[in-house]
Amino acid sequence: MEDCDSGRYLFQICNHNLLLADAIHRGSGRKPILPNACALIVDEAHKLPETARQMFGVTLAAEDIRTLTHSLRGERFLLAAEVLTDSAKSLLRKLDRPPEGKPFDHYTKSLAAPERSLTVISRQLHGLLTPATRRRLKNVSSSVSLFHQGHPDMVFYTEEDAHGGTMLCATIADLTAQLRQTLWRQERPVVLTSATLAVGEDFRRFKEETGLLTDSRVTESVTPSPFDYKQNCLLYLPKFPPRQKAIAYYDELAKEIAALLDAAQGHALALFTSYAAMSAVKERLPVHGLRYPLFTMGRSAIHTTEQFKASPGSVLLAAGAAWEGFDFPGDCVSLLIIPRLPFAVPDALKEKERENHTTLRLFIRAVVVPEMQIKLKQGFGRAIRTETDTCVVAILDERAAQGKRYSKDVLAALPEMPVTGSLEDVARFIRSVKGPDYFREASA
């Protein structure tokens, strides 16, 4: 950043949260957090809307309650800590699990008991606590009350937290107005950059989410990837059977994945859209003669990925945060498997946005499909990380196969590359692009 006041050139590096906190301060007339700047560069800008929803709203995770309990114990208020722990047991059990599409109402009944306990603790201990614990108690207490009682001007939904559990979220209904008021009205140029801002060359969905759709100042640019996908990547779209009853479907899916693993000699990452599907496939893979070390990514993601990288030829099953932010360069991921297209689970935010479209079909084409395409691009990015990487990308959703409902949308979201529906082509491609060491790893 350039310090416009002094004429000196400085670069201030911060995360999205701090940038938005500074914008909120400036918009409300409070003292800025960051130095004055002549320009902003926002990397990974596709994450900006979700960060804004959190910054302009309220969140509650299991860690917040446990941290408060720990603080109360640390100040020797053992009875208060015990009462809070006991009253929050049901809520914590639910928050410790991933959302898995559960509606927000699934959590509301479990908020009543901790709300009562927090009200009593606040009344009795307010003047006895240290400032830090007092602030923590106030924040958790107000959050629990908000989520239990609701608010007409807010939208309530759930997200997966950093530990693989559930985070309760509440945000203002009109996020775009807040972004226009705080971030975009500032008189300085802003560069928003990310590999997944656009679908093809269409930025419409991102601009809708961020309040930039009608802003005449916006200019757009798409930079071609330096990677040679036509030579280094193969897209596998089989005519997989239509989704059926869960048991039969997971049996067929595990069988298909096992065949792909043999064709590619392991070295695989499978990205699931739910932990339930991941667990079902994990249980069934050994039945189909799995010959490769198998890992599943749970809460200890860093430890699991290190094990995966240290075991050449192995297979990693993952969900949630693994769709972006993890790098596996080289031959580690030479087969990327996406069992289902990553459509978002319907929630209160989507229901609110649905009101802006006259028909369900228009809503699906304007919102649901573009969001799926962007998420698919994020997952696809795990395949090729350097200019010399080679990989097969297998999408096993029957809706993505040639001539099916979303086949054109899938192809539009991904770089141009050869497409096949043949396992023999997968094995042939791997043999043509991999060296001898690759196959020695698989047989080790």
For 165, the token pair is 């559990």
Contacts of 263 (CB under 8 A, 6+ apart): 392, 423, 424, 426, 427, 430
Q: Measuring CA to CA, which residue among 152, 193, 270, 252 is closest to residue 39? A: 193
pLDDT at 199: 85
State how far the alpha carbon of 19 is from the alpha carbons of 12, 14, 165, 172, 192, in Å. 10, 7, 26, 19, 13
Separation of alpha carbons 298 and 209, rounded Å: 30
Separation of alpha carbons 79 and 350, rounded Å: 42
State how far the alpha carbon of 212 is from the alpha carbons of 178, 204, 278, 388, in Å. 12, 9, 37, 37
Strand-pairing partners, residue 58, are 170
φ, ψ for residue 325, nearest 5 deg: 90, -5
Q: What is the mean pLDDT of residues 311-326?
A: 87
- pLDDT mean across residues, the chain: 89
Return the half-sphere exposure (C-beta side, CA atoms, 13 A cut-off) of residue 382. 28
Percent of the chain exceeding pLDDT 70 equals 95
List the domain boundaries for the chain. Answer: 58-170, 229-443
Angle (CA) 120 125 130, round 5°:
140
Residue-wise over 86-101: b if at least 16 C-beta within 10 A, else e? ebbeebbebbeebbee
Q: Tens digit of pLDDT for each residue in 129-147?
A: 999 999 999 999 999 999 9
Q: Tens digit of pLDDT for each residue in 52-81?
A: 988 888 999 999 999 999 999 999 999 999
Separation of alpha carbons 398 and 393, rounded Å: 15
pLDDT at 442: 65
Pick the more confident residue, 70 or 160: 70
| 44: number of Cβ within 10 Å | 17
pLDDT at 5 > cutoff 60 = no
163 touches 41 (CB < 8 A): no
> Domain 229-443: what homologous superfamily?
P-loop containing nucleotide triphosphate hydrolases (3.40.50.300)
Q: How many helices (H) and strands (E) does the chain have?
A: 20, 12
pLDDT at 298 > cutoff 90 = no
Return the half-sphere exposure (C-beta side, CA atoms, 13 A cut-off) of residue 133. 22
Q: Tens digit of pLDDT for each residue in 254-293?
A: 999 999 999 999 999 999 998 889 999 999 999 998 999 9
Q: Tens digit of pLDDT for each residue in 96-123?
A: 998 877 889 999 999 999 999 999 999 9
Least confident among 51-55, 122-126, 415-419: 51-55
Return the half-sphere exposure (C-beta side, CA atoms, 13 A cut-off) of residue 81. 15
Residue-wise over 191-222: b if at least 16 C-beta within 10 A, else e? ebebebbbbeeebebbbbbbbbeeeeeeeeee
pLDDT at 171 > cutoff 80 = yes
pLDDT at 1 > cutoff 50 = no
pLDDT at 256: 95
Domains 58-170 and 229-443 share a fold: no
pLDDT at 207: 92
SS3 assignment, position 178? helix
For 85, the token pair is 């722990």
Pick the more confident residue, 360 or 11: 360
CATH of 58-170, one of 3.40.50, 1.10.10, 1.10.3470, 1.10.275: 1.10.275
Q: Tens digit of pLDDT for each residue in 218-251?
A: 999 998 888 999 999 999 999 876 667 788 899 9
Q: Tens digit of pLDDT for each residue in 174-200?
A: 888 889 888 898 888 999 999 889 888
Given 3-state DSSP classes, what are the helix, strand and coil percentages for the chain, each rounded to the nearest 5? 50, 10, 40
Q: Tens digit of pLDDT for each residue in 380-415?
A: 998 888 889 999 999 999 999 988 999 999 999 999
Separation of alpha carbons 307 and 314, rounded Å: 9
Q: What is the pTM of this model?
A: 0.80
11 touches 161 (CB < 8 A): no
Q: Tens digit of pLDDT for each residue in 331-356?
A: 889 999 999 999 988 778 888 888 88
Q: Measuring CA to CA, which residue among 440, 441, 383 is closest to residue 417? A: 383
Split at pLDDT 50, 70, 90, the class of 9 is low
pLDDT at 113: 96
